[in-house]
């Protein structure tokens, strides 16, 4: 059963998709992926492994929906700035195809946590492969070329979302940053409550718990502006060691402005 947070995020995702006035394929894909029982089950188990077994922060249904929403917002800003996605530039697909690839990659990128934290992005890719096949057949029918193209793009995003493998498409770069932007204190709420003794990975929990808000909006000089509001300077770990690294590895870096501020402090511009 979906939590209230998941339901709220699902509504925002669907509203964002509907507001782009596309052919309708992305809306169909969004509805199907949100309602899929297999995806929901594996997201929830990935979260159990992450939080209860490994004492990491959220890698489950709420996180993957948050990443999906972040990615959709960034793609919308890119489109409004008249910047083409990789599929559009290469004449391999439409903006909507790029949108579907990022949406599906976001919903599946951390399901490998159900197996292991180590190389979880690669575990995610092979677990996602048959799920992607099933979904894309429903979206594109007999159009094999489009199914292969979108599947490949989604797999690039999934396997490259940690920033330790080179990604080449703008779509995979968007997913990389969208993932890094999910670092607010809600992500660390459950592991913080369960924690009894210091463990490896605690810095991620404590730094994430100081992030009050991450805002994605239209930039002044670039299409995408990311603003991070923190309650304490420990949140700078998330900004400088996690998010900045992912942006540096992203093909979307040149389109991003990044700002961070501690309460009552001055705003610092990173990009």
Q: Cα(208)–Cα(238) distance, rounded to whole angstroms?
A: 7
- Residues 212-237 have a mean pLDDT of 93
- Predicted TM-score (pTM) of this structure: 0.91
- In sequence order, the 6+-apart residues with CB closer than 8 A to the CB of 191 are 51, 55, 56, 57, 58, 205
Residue-level pLDDT at 141: 95
Q: How many CA atoms lie less than 13 Å away from 140 in the CB half-sphere?
A: 22
| 69-126 pLDDT, tens digit each | 999 999 999 999 999 999 999 999 999 999 999 999 999 999 999 999 999 999 999 9
Pair 208, 228: CB distance under 8 Å: no
CATH code of 4-269, in short, is: 1.10.1300
Domains of the chain by residue range: 4-269
Give exposure, 147-172, as e/b (b: 16+ Cβ within 10 Å). bebbbebbbbbbbbbbbeeebebbbb
| Residue 271: pLDDT over 60 | yes
Report CA torsion sign: 117, 172, 190, 3.
negative
Q: Which of 87-91, 143-147, 262-266 has the lowest mean pLDDT?
A: 262-266
Q: Cα(144)–Cα(117) distance, rounded to whole angstroms?
A: 33
Percent share of the chain, pLDDT over 70: 92
| Residue 45: pLDDT over 50 | yes
Q: Cα(129)–Cα(50) distance, rounded to whole angstroms?
A: 22
Report CA torsion sign: 124, 131, 129, 126.
positive
Smallest CA-to-CA distance from 181 within 230, 226, 241, 240 is with: 226
- Residues 31-41 have a mean pLDDT of 96
């Amino acid at each position: 059963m979906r939590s209230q947070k998941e339901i709220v995020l699902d509504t925002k995702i669907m509203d964002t998709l509907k507001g782009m006035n596309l052919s309708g394929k992305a809306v169909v894909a969004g509805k199907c992926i949100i309602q899929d029982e297999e995806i929901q089950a594996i997201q929830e188990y990935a979260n159990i492994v992450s939080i209860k077994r490994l004492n990491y922060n959220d890698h489950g249904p709420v996180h993957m929906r948050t990443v999906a929403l972040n990615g959709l917002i960034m793609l919308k800003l890119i489109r409004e700035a008249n910047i083409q996605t990789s599929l559009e530039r290469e004449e391999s697909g439409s903006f909507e195809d790029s949108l579907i690839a990022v949406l599906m990659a976001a919903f599946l990128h951390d399901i490998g946590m159900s197996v292991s934290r180590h190389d979880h992005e690669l575990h995610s890719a092979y677990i996602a492969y048959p799920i992607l096949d099933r979904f894309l057949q429903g979206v594109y029918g007999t159009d094999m070329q489009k199914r292969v193209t979108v599947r490949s793009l989604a797999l690039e995003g999934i396997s490259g979302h940690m920033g330790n493998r080179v990604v080449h498409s703008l779509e995979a770069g968007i997913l990389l940053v969208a993932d890094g932007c999910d670092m607010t204190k809600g992500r660390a709420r459950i592991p913080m409550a369960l924690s009894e003794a210091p463990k490896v990975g605690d810095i991620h929990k404590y730094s994430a718990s100081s992030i009050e808000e991450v805002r994605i909006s239209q930039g002044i000089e670039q299409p995408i502006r990311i603003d991070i509001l923190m309650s304490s300077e420990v949140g700078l770990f998330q900004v400088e060691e996690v998010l900045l690294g992912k942006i540096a590895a992203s093909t979307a870096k040149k389109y991003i402005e990044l700002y961070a501020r501690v309460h009552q402090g001055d705003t610092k511009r990173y990009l």
